[in-house]
């Protein structure tokens, strides 16, 4: 349904749900953004050149780090985060790159025990016999073992989500963002909302095609909803120098267009915790470690070589594609994680371009629990209500296909096992008995 509200002089046309006529909406919003930039006295080409120069400087730094044998990804020890002694140099590197490996986030043996616990949980509940194939893939081969397990409520996952160690790292990462401005606290950096996600267990010997470069915060809604237009206001009004990828203003309440790829939560960082050791050349995560690349992605379709009713291939109900055709500068910076060990965790700014490399005859397991940093904010509080329902019934959270394998599994994590972090993250009142 199209819901364009009245335009004021300073407001772009916006659609709070998916427009009925996408090409017309794309034309309208591009015309309006170009007009707003022109009203600032600059052309789209001028502001794009500013963004391109800023991104190019980052890309060149990354290339020179790589050439010198320096690690592109920042790496920080959990012990330093917990002790509050991360150095200003490390913080600067994290801000520049927008991604991080936390070494020793959990003890190696703890992560290996969680991995074994997940296997006991799924095998004990006959998951592999019952698995009906990928819910989002019509041709999924029934009976084959999945790599992504649609399992959300194992004791291992919940223990990790509600652990003090997880809360410590999430608070550290949230604090990289500006969370208060204009008299508004956009999110609470000290409280996470326990966004439940799945696990991946990729066995040795597999061939995998990987996952192409993309970003996750939205697709056409990034240009078309009022909240995102406000969040990215500096990109759309000619004041691009003021754009700050670490500013949470207007990002934590607005709607997102529905679709199979949507994430209802606001995440400061996406992340996963390694449950096996993984070498850097075994089909691992890559990012374009340039947080401000979002400025490039959002302004690129406004250049005149892109047809007026297109957004460089971005459309609804689909991830935001990033590629050589439209974004060759960004693709130069694609950088993989270093070797990680079970118990390390890996994080990347929610706007960042990422991909998973292909692998042939993978050596060793590739096992992770997806646990992001999703701080308490209006958007995450709303989603937490449906998470609570899913937790109580054992069903799949509403952002994911309704596969609901765990509803009848007796040993899933129980409410009685929640600690104070877990109760707070689910929006439950404190347990007065403990
Ligand atoms: Fe993604």
Q: Tell me, in angstroms, the distance from the centre of ligand 1 to residue 216's CA.
A: 5
d(CA 198, CA 215): 19
Q: State both tokens at 369.
A: 């629990």
Looking at residue 262, what is its pLDDT?
83
Distance 217 CA to ligand 1 centre (A): 9
Measure 418 CA to ligand 1 centroid, in angstroms: 29
pLDDT at site 3: 42
CA 129 – ligand 1 centroid, Å: 29
pLDDT of 1 reads 38
Dihedral sign for Cα atoms in the order 199, 193, 216, 221 = positive
Q: What is the Å distance from ligand 1's center to 354 Cα?
A: 6
Q: How far is the CA of 211 from the centre of ligand 1 (A)?
A: 9
Q: Say what the pLDDT of residue 116 is.
A: 98
- pLDDT score at 141: 45
Task: Compute, in angstroms, the gap from residue 302 CA to the centroid of ligand 1.
Answer: 24
The pLDDT of residue 4 is: 44
Q: How far does the centroid of ligand 1 lie from the alpha carbon of residue 328, in Å?
A: 19
Could you tell me the distance, in angstroms and rounded to a whole number, from the CA of residue 215 to the centre of ligand 1? 6
Q: What are the pLDDT tens digits along the chain (434 aa)?
A: 344 444 444 589 999 999 999 999 999 999 999 999 999 999 999 999 999 999 999 999 999 999 999 999 999 999 999 999 999 999 999 999 999 999 999 999 999 999 999 999 999 999 999 998 877 654 444 446 789 999 999 999 999 999 999 999 999 999 999 999 999 999 999 999 999 999 999 999 999 999 999 999 999 999 999 999 999 999 999 999 999 999 999 999 988 898 877 899 999 999 999 999 999 999 999 999 999 999 999 999 999 999 999 999 999 999 999 999 999 999 999 999 999 999 999 999 999 999 999 999 999 999 999 999 999 999 999 999 999 999 999 999 999 999 999 999 999 999 999 999 999 999 999 986 55
Identify the CA nearest to 363 among candidates 278, 263, 303, 425.
Answer: 278
C-alpha of residue 375 to centroid of ligand 1, in Å: 19
Residues 216 and 210: their CA atoms lie apart, in Å, by 16
pLDDT in the model for residue 214: 96
pLDDT of amino acid 260: 79
Residues comprising the chain, all counted: 434
Rounded Cα distance between 353 and 362, Å, is 24
Q: What is the pLDDT of residue 261?
A: 78
Which tokens hold the place of 132?
């009906």
The pLDDT value given to residue 226: 96
Question: What global pTM score does this model have?
Answer: 0.95
Give the model's pLDDT for residue 431: 80
């Amino acid at each position: 349904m199209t819901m364009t509200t009245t335009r004021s002089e300073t407001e772009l046309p916006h659609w709070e749900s998916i427009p009925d006529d996408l090409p017309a909406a794309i034309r309208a919003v591009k015309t309006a953004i170009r007009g707003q930039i022109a009203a600032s006295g600059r052309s789209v080409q001028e502001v794009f050149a500013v963004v391109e120069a800023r991104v190019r400087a980052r890309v060149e730094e990354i290339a020179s780090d790589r050439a010198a044998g320096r690690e592109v990804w920042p790496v920080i020890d959990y012990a330093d985060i917990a002790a509050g002694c991360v150095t200003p140099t490390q913080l600067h590197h994290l801000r520049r790159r927008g991604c991080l490996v936390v070494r020793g986030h959990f003890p190696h043996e703890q992560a290996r025990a969680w991995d074994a616990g997940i296997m006991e949980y799924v095998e004990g509940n006959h998951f592999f016999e019952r698995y009906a194939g990928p819910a989002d893939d019509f041709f999924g081969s029934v009976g084959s073992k999945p790599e992504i397990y649609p399992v959300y409520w194992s004791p291992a996952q919940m223990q990790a989500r509600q652990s003090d160690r997880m809360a410590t790292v999430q608070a550290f990462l949230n604090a990289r963002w500006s969370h208060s401005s204009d008299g508004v606290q956009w999110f609470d950096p000290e409280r996470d909302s326990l966004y439940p996600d799945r696990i991946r267990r990729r066995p040795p010997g597999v061939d995998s095609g990987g996952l192409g470069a993309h970003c996750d915060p939205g697709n056409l809604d990034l240009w078309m909803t009022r909240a995102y237009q406000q969040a990215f206001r500096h990109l759309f009004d000619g004041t691009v120098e003021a754009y700050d990828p670490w500013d949470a203003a207007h990002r934590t309440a607005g709607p997102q267009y529905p679709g199979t790829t949507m994430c209802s939560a606001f995440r400061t960082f996406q992340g996963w915790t390694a449950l096996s050791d993984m070498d850097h050349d075994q089909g691992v995560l890559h990012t374009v470690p340039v947080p401000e690349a979002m400025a490039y992605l959002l302004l690129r379709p406004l250049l005149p070589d892109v047809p007026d009713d297109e957004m460089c291939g971005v459309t609804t109900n689909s991830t935001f594609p990033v590629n050589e055709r439209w974004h060759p500068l960004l693709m130069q910076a694609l950088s993989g994680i270093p070797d990680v060990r079970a118990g390390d965790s890996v994080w990347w700014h929610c706007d960042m371009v990422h991909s998973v490399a292909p692998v042939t005859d993978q050596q060793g397991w590739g096992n992770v629990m997806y646990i992001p940093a999703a701080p308490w904010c209006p958007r995450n509080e709303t989603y937490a209500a449906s998470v609570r329902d899913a937790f109580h019934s054992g069903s799949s959270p509403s952002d994911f296909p309704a596969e609901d394998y765990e509803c009848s599994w007796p040993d899933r994590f129980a409410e009685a096992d929640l600690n104070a972090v877990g109760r707070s993250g689910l929006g439950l009142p404190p347990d007065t008995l403990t």
